[in-house]
Amino acid sequence: MSNAFIIDGKAFAAQLRQRVAAAVESFIALTARKPGLAVVLVGEDPASQVYVGSKKKATVEAGMNSFEHRLPASVSQDELIALVETLNADAAVDGILVQLPLPPHMDDKAVIAAIDPGKDVDGFHVVNAGRLAVGEEAFVPCTPLGCLMLLKDHMGDLSGKNAVVIGRSNIVGKPMAQLLLAENCTVTIAHSRTQDLPDVVRRADIVVAAVGRAEMVTGDWLKPGAVVIDVGINRLEPEAGQSKGRLVGDVAFDDALRHAGAITPVPGGVGPMTIACLLRNTLVAAHRRAGVAAPE
């Protein structure tokens, strides 16, 4: 029997996208121009091509301009940085996203560092990471921002909650922990060297799993009633007769349902929030650049 409430990230993301689209209309009425998002894709990575395609579609659906730049995998880092600098200087571009991972001959950090922090709608630039850490206005990476929105929508005030974030990457785990700290949670960051991880997780009112290991967190790791945000996207081996394996999260969903108070599914949980938050960050960037107050 399942007890846990299933947090519908797809529905929440659809509402957020509608709110962004409405705010885009007001922005255009005020400034006589559309917000613009430039997406740069280097190489032919199939997953990245799908992500870039979805981002373009969502951007246009929200009423914004989408500028797509596809470069061959053979392009040099200097050429890529030159493109980023052109986009930095382009008044029609409010947000710049360089799709990661970049080909092995490039240094992701050097390329991200070239983006104007005011257009860094992915929130990966060290200036934005630093601003988040010291509590200043920052562009926050889209996936943890989406997780926080789902948590606040479900739980309201997070103050005083014990939160465990499993994973310490710069794009998910660390910013997630910063956001929860800013909401006055008591935050533990766990990682591959953490000892007795199930015991650590068992203390948590909020569990955010961002590991990349299929169904690692089982129901018996969870404090009864814990709210679980599953960021992981893992594809299982295909079953007999299937060409593709099933997508699962880092949490054993069916098992967790019996222990958790609420949980995000995979797919349909955190994933749709990432693109919705990218649109939201682009909208905010456009407002800041135009010197007008950004909507909440």
Known catalytic residue at 244? no
Whether residue 224 is preceded by a cis peptide bond, meaning omega within 30 degrees of 0, is: no
Helices (H), the chain: 9-31, 46-61, 77-89, 108-113, 126-134, 142-155, 173-182, 197-202, 253-257, 271-290
Known catalytic residue at 107? no
Choose, by CB under 6 A, the member of 76, 86, 184, 192 that binds ligand NDP. 192
Choose, by CB under 6 A, the member of 271, 280, 283, 285 that binds ligand NDP. 271
Query: Position of tokens 């929508």?
Result: 153
Known catalytic residue at 34? no
Closer by beta carbon to ligand NDP, 248 or else 262:
248
Q: Are 5 and 262 in contact (CB under 8 A)?
A: yes
Choose, by CB under 6 A, the member of 156, 157, 159, 193 that binds ligand NDP. 193
What is the Rg, in whole angstroms, of the alpha carbon atoms belonging to the chain?
A: 19
- Asked if 166 is part of the footprint of ligand NDP (rule: CB under 6 A), the reply reads yes
Residues sharing a CB contact under 8 Å with residue 125, sequence separation 6 or more, in sequence order: 112, 113, 115, 117, 139
In the complex, the smallest distance separating the C-beta of residue 206 from ligand NDP, rounded to whole angstroms, is: 17
Closer by beta carbon to ligand NDP, 83 or else 275:
275
Q: Spot the catalytic one: 34, 94, 99, 223.
A: 99
Query: Position of tokens 């909507």?
Result: 295
Only one of the segments 16-24, 54-62, 70-78, 270-278 lies at the binding site for ligand NDP (rule: CB under 6 A); that segment is 270-278
Q: Report how far apart the first and last C-alpha atoms of the chain are (Å, whole number).
A: 39
Binding residues for NADP(+), as ranges, are: 167-169, 233
Which residues does the annotation mark as catalytic?
55, 99, 122
Binding site for ligand NDP (CB under 6 A): 143, 166-169, 171-173, 190-194, 197, 210-213, 231-234, 270-271, 274
